[in-house]
Amino acid sequence: MKGDLTQLSAAQAAGAIRSGVLTSEALTRAHLGRIEATDATIRAWAHLDPEAALEQAREMDRIRRAGHATGPLHGVPVGVKDIIDTRDMPTRRGSAIFEGNQPKTDARLVERLREAGAVIMGKTKTTELGYLHPTDTTNPHDATRTPGGSSSGSAAAVAARHVPLAVGTQTGGSVIRPASFCGVYGLKPTRGTISRSGVFRTSATLDQIGGFANTLEDVALLTDVLGSYDQTDPASFARPRPGLVAGAAQEVPAEPDIAWFDLPYHDRLDADARDGLDAVIESLGPRVERFPASPKLADLVNVHKVIYDYEIRQNLAILHADYAEALSPEMNGAIERGGQISKDQYEDALAIKESANAFFANHFNDFDAILSPSASGEALPLSAGNTGDAVYCLIWTLAGLPCLTLPVLVGAHSLPVGVQLIGAPEEDDRLMRTAAWMQRALTANDLNEE
Amino acid sequence: MKGDLTQLSAAQAAGAIRSGVLTSEALTRAHLGRIEATDATIRAWAHLDPEAALEQAREMDRIRRAGHATGPLHGVPVGVKDIIDTRDMPTRRGSAIFEGNQPKTDARLVERLREAGAVIMGKTKTTELGYLHPTDTTNPHDATRTPGGSSSGSAAAVAARHVPLAVGTQTGGSVIRPASFCGVYGLKPTRGTISRSGVFRTSATLDQIGGFANTLEDVALLTDVLGSYDQTDPASFARPRPGLVAGAAQEVPAEPDIAWFDLPYHDRLDADARDGLDAVIESLGPRVERFPASPKLADLVNVHKVIYDYEIRQNLAILHADYAEALSPEMNGAIERGGQISKDQYEDALAIKESANAFFANHFNDFDAILSPSASGEALPLSAGNTGDAVYCLIWTLAGLPCLTLPVLVGAHSLPVGVQLIGAPEEDDRLMRTAAWMQRALTANDLNEE
């Protein structure tokens, strides 16, 4: 094949490899070339062994040539966030405490990638233990800005075309925000869709898995591959998973109904982001209904915080005891805050979370999706010292709803700004269908050209 | 839906449930009715809890009505051989030693069934620990005859329409022979396709998983659902699995080439089975090439025996030490024979097995499949005291090749006799394609009518 192979979507690349017009080795080499050319600045990778990646690629090529089965990601390079265990690569978790940590087994989701024929390209940088303290990764659109976090390397690697796909995790807004900042698609499917076995745990209630890609179809394809029932993850459900690729390709049976909640923290949005969202809403016309947010809804931000801090302490108190000096002030602070939350407060928070789930379940009888900001606006300057505000994601993450960000806006500095759509639980296929419709509607209305 | 619901194939039933014209509850009730009517004679079930099965069925109906995702086996009852762990049903393994054994977790393959939306109907009877000592299950075509073993209950349950699908295991001929005796399709895919985690181990080298169904499409569908890469099973391979349903639906690119080996143990075939196989070969005309079997090929039967006995002892010596009096003479005999095999003899056997794999891999460059008897002929009378001769399966099982039996012949007593097709490793889709072609060719030639 001619041209820049790194511009192929995962679906295009897998199709070309299956039909024999492209080898996985050529594709992987092209992406490795791009990494070599740009990663001195972007710093997306915590671990990369080009020869090992090429060997996987050649193996996928051998399998295809032998006439054996090919998988949905056959020969396609995928980046994996460095809090996800890999049996053949170190897993440092963004912390010096785990320097040299070499898992003996793959996370279940990595098993799924291997069964799909993917090339595990390497490990992408994560903030410290998937929490707040930034990594040194820079935004591929502007090296003076953050890629967002905590899945910093996964978002940056996909935006920079180091890989067509990458896996991340989200406990607050760690898939949606970096995807928005880096101008790529990010999808965190319904809680329990993708197994967390072999993924570093900070919060059993809130930790969830998601993916990054440069097209809607690709992020659907990645999620379809990653999803599986796994009894060793208590959040995993023993039910069929929806088909997201099929959902993204579906026509809507009728023009969808989309809800927007006026939430108090929207006053923290950058002016350009607010204007862009208003333009989206205006463009969609009567399809969007605006609601004042009930105080209860806004309070869920605090419910998220109580659960997160309490569970961080549950999971990381042991690290705090032994390695407090090796942990960041952000992490030590969370663990200390967790210690000031009583069991009653925590259990109250869990109960409120359950009632929120019921509220949302009911809500989706009347609406196909909720529209929301993905982040405060464009990526923050690195000098801000943090990866941005997760508040626009917290209540949806808390409720375990499927969340998708689409790179549809451009901000005041010509940097990408995402728009978030949130769907009904276990109806991620409907969310994809609605998103594909919205994307077509916004493109037809030429949103960014006035 | 009208008519006898137990006559629906799994694919038909899943389609009807998905489209809303049939409920899983109605289907499950129909099958439970059939069990109630016939299982006093057939005795296919080691554990059956009708109310628990109906509750699973109602849950699958609720999921569908809620508009949530449905799986490829949505609402379809499946039987599971009782050496396969189930977290919600006892797993007695056909031995009094394991009376009351309740696994805490599901076998990986049961996870796959749940994710596909299947109703786990119950546990099907197995010979003692999946070895030779018979269970009390009878053949649904003739209650005075054996259903074959060791997956006796799985084969009988599918033949009796207690369930459209059942899972079994094969270490010698434990899927192919009972399927042949009971007149159903049996498929043991390439070794390593389906995980054995949570399945009672008798031989790490030889134990393999397979399935039973009443149509070729159904046995393909079941295998597609069961297959997955699982790093905790050393035989499981980290590569894409072929699509068997797609394979069975494929046209052959050219009329296939099929090999037949004249093996010395073919003189043990019943006369009617031999005549039937000759008629099959004649009917396929120039598509079949007959080869004299090399002595090396025939010797593989002994290689299988050395490995099996040695590994049975490895795995079961501890039971033999504590419970010899609770084990059958067959099992105690195998464990004792295993003790007389030296490590060198065992390792020589493993090395010969490896060279056999290379022989077969090479062979499949010229042929699409090998044709073979499935069993000695019709099911043996119960009075014989055994489940029949596995010899027709041993060398294919040893090489880990995909093996399929098709119920195409009728014996002297009007009982079913299967015909076996063996395919190239990891090309189970090609085997299905070849089998579908052969089935059409034999039907066109009206094989059993002279």
B260-402+421-444 has the same fold as B5-248: yes
pLDDT of res. B450:
46
Could you report the per-residue pLDDT of A122-132, keeping only the tens digit for each?
999 999 999 99
pLDDT of res. A207:
98
Which chain B residue's Cα is nearest to A237?
B115
Given a cut of 90, is residue A352 above it in pLDDT? yes
How far away is chain B from the Cα of A398, in angstroms, using its nearest Cα?
A: 21
Q: Would you name the residues of B annotated as active-site residues?
A: 81, 150, 174
Task: Pull the structure tokens for residue A222.
Answer: 């990645």
Chain B interface includes A253 (CB < 8 A) = no
How far away is chain B from the Cα of A316, in angstroms, using its nearest Cα?
A: 28
Percent of chain A with pLDDT over 70: 99
Q: Say which of B70, B106, B429 has its CB closest to residue A69.
A: B429
How far away is chain B from the Cα of A115, in angstroms, using its nearest Cα?
A: 5
Given a cut of 70, is residue A450 above it in pLDDT? no
Could you report the per-residue pLDDT of A166-215, keeping only the tens digit for each?
999 999 999 999 999 999 999 999 999 999 999 999 999 999 999 999 99
pLDDT of res. B448:
60
| Mean pLDDT of chain A, nearest integer | 96
Give CA–CA dist A117/A128, Å, rounded.
Answer: 30
Q: Say which of B111, B229, B243 has its CB closest to residue A230.
A: B111
Chain B interface includes A68 (CB < 8 A) = yes
pLDDT of res. A382:
97
Q: Do B240 and A105 touch (CB under 8 A)?
A: no
Given a cut of 60, is residue A31 above it in pLDDT? yes
Which chain B residue's Cα is nearest to A63?
B239
Sign of the dihedral defined by the CA atoms of residues A377, A207, A120, A124, in that order: positive
pTM: 0.96
Q: What is the DSSP letter of B293?
A: P
Q: Do B229 and A111 touch (CB under 8 A)?
A: yes
Residues of chain B positioned with their CB less than 8 A from the CB of A238: 111, 114-115
| Mean pLDDT of chain B, nearest integer | 96
pLDDT of res. B394:
98
pLDDT of res. B362:
86
Could you report the per-residue pLDDT of A62-83, keeping only the tens digit for each?
999 998 999 999 999 999 999 9
Let me know if A250 is exposed, middle or buried by CB neighbors in 10 A (0-12, 13-18, 19+): middle
Chain B interface includes A62 (CB < 8 A) = no
Mean per-residue pLDDT, B129-151: 97
Residue B76: closest CA among B44, B19, B114, B36: B114
Q: Do B239 and A87 touch (CB under 8 A)?
A: no
Could you report the per-residue pLDDT of B332-351, keeping only the tens digit for each?
999 999 999 999 999 999 99
Residues 364-383 of A with CB under 8 A from B: none
Residues of chain B positioned with their CB less than 8 A from the CB of A232: 105
How far away is chain A from the Cα of B213, in angstroms, using its nearest Cα?
A: 22
Residues A241, A80, A318, CA angle at the centre, nearest 5°?
A: 95
Q: Tell me if A198 sits within 8 A of A105, measured CB to CB.
A: yes
Chain A interface includes B67 (CB < 8 A) = yes
Mean per-residue pLDDT, B239-253: 97
- The two most distant CA atoms of chain B are separated, in Å, by 62
Could you report the per-residue pLDDT of B308-332, keeping only the tens digit for each?
999 999 999 999 999 999 999 999 9
Residues of chain B positioned with their CB less than 8 A from the CB of A87: 231
Residues of chain B positioned with their CB less than 8 A from the CB of A71: 239-240
Q: In what order do the strands lie in the sheet with A185-188?
A: A45-48, A119-124, A77-81, A165-170, A208-213, A185-188, A403-410, A416-422, A369-373, A258-262, A288-292
Chain B interface includes A238 (CB < 8 A) = yes
Beta partners for B290? B260
CATH match of B5-248 with 3.90.1300.10: yes
Given a cut of 50, is residue B414 above it in pLDDT? yes
Domain range annotation of chain B: 5-248, 260-402+421-444
pLDDT range class, residue A107, cuts 50, 70, 90: very high
Could you report the per-residue pLDDT of B186-219, keeping only the tens digit for each?
999 999 999 999 999 999 999 999 999 999 999 9
Chain A interface includes B250 (CB < 8 A) = no
Residue A190: closest CA among B61, B111, B229, B68: B68
Mean per-residue pLDDT, A399-419: 98
Task: Pull the structure tokens for residue B218.
Answer: 């159904």
Residues 116-145 of B with CB under 8 A from A: 116-117
Given a cut of 70, is residue A23 above it in pLDDT? yes
pLDDT range class, residue B1, cuts 50, 70, 90: confident
Mean per-residue pLDDT, A28-42: 98
Q: Do A426 and B69 touch (CB under 8 A)?
A: yes
Q: Does the active-site annotation cover A150?
A: yes
pLDDT range class, residue A295, cuts 50, 70, 90: confident
Residues of chain A positioned with their CB less than 8 A from the CB of B242: 68-69
Q: Is the ipTM of this complex over 0.90?
A: yes
Which chain A residue's Cα is nearest to B59?
A239
Q: Do A68 and B117 touch (CB under 8 A)?
A: no
pLDDT range class, residue B366, cuts 50, 70, 90: very high
- Please provide the CATH number assigned to the domain covering B260-402+421-444: 3.90.1300.10
Given a cut of 80, is residue A449 above it in pLDDT? no
* Contacts made by residues A31-34, CB under 8 angstroms, sequence distance 24+: A31/A5, A31/A6, A31/A77, A31/A121, A31/A161, A31/A162, A31/A163, A31/A164, A33/A6, A34/A6, A34/A160, A34/A161, A34/A162
Task: Pull the structure tokens for residue A314.
Answer: 């549950």
